Amino acid sequence: MKQLTNRFWYLLSVFAGILFTLAFAPFNFPYLAPLALSLLFATWQNTSTKQALLRAYLFGLGSFGLGISWVYISIHDFGGSSSVIAGLLTAFFVGFWAIFPALAGYLSVKIQSLNNRNHSYLTSPVVWMLVEYLRGRLILNGFPWLQSAYSQLDTPLAGYIPLVGGYGTGFLVALTASGLLAIVQKSRCRYLLIFALLSIWGTGRYLQSIAWTQAIGEPIKVSLLQGNITQDQKWRPENKLNTLRWYQSMTEAHWDSAIIVWPETSIPAYLSDVNDWFLRPLNQAAEQHQTSIIVSLPINNTEVNEKYNAVMTLGKQTGVYKKTHLLPFGEYLPWQPISGLILNNLGMRLGLFTEGGLDQPLLKAAGYPFITTICYEDAFDELVLKPLSTAAFLINVTNDGWFGQSIEPYQHLQIARMRALETGRYLLRATNTGATVIINPEGKILSQAPLFKATVLTDTLVPMQGLTPYAHTGQKPVLSLLMILFLTLLLPKVTRKK
Residue 189 bears catalytic tag: no
Report the C-alpha gap between 154 and 163 in whole angstroms: 16
Residue 498 bears catalytic tag: no
Which of the 8 DSSP states describes residue 299? E
How many other CB atoms are found less than 10 A from the CB of residue 446? Answer: 15
Nearest Cα to Cα of residue 308 among 361, 359, 271, 263: 271
Report the C-alpha gap between 20 and 44 in whole angstroms: 16
Report the C-alpha gap between 117 and 286 in whole angstroms: 66
**Hey, what's the torsion of the CAs at 299, 304, 306, 308, to 10 degrees?**
-40
Active-site entry in 132, 234, 264, 331: 264
Q: Per residue in 293-310, is it b (16+ CB within 10 Å) or e — as a string?
A: bbbbbbbeeeeeeebbbb
Report the C-alpha gap between 277 and 275 in whole angstroms: 6
Active-site entry in 234, 364, 375, 422: 375
Residue 386 bears catalytic tag: no
Report the C-alpha gap between 425 and 356 in whole angstroms: 24
User: 3-state class of 374 per DSSP?
Assistant: strand
Which of the 8 DSSP states describes residue 360? P
Q: Is the peptide bond before 435 cis (omega within 30 degrees of 0)?
A: yes
Active-site entry in 234, 322, 323, 364: 323
Among all residues, which ones are annotated catalytic? 264, 323, 375
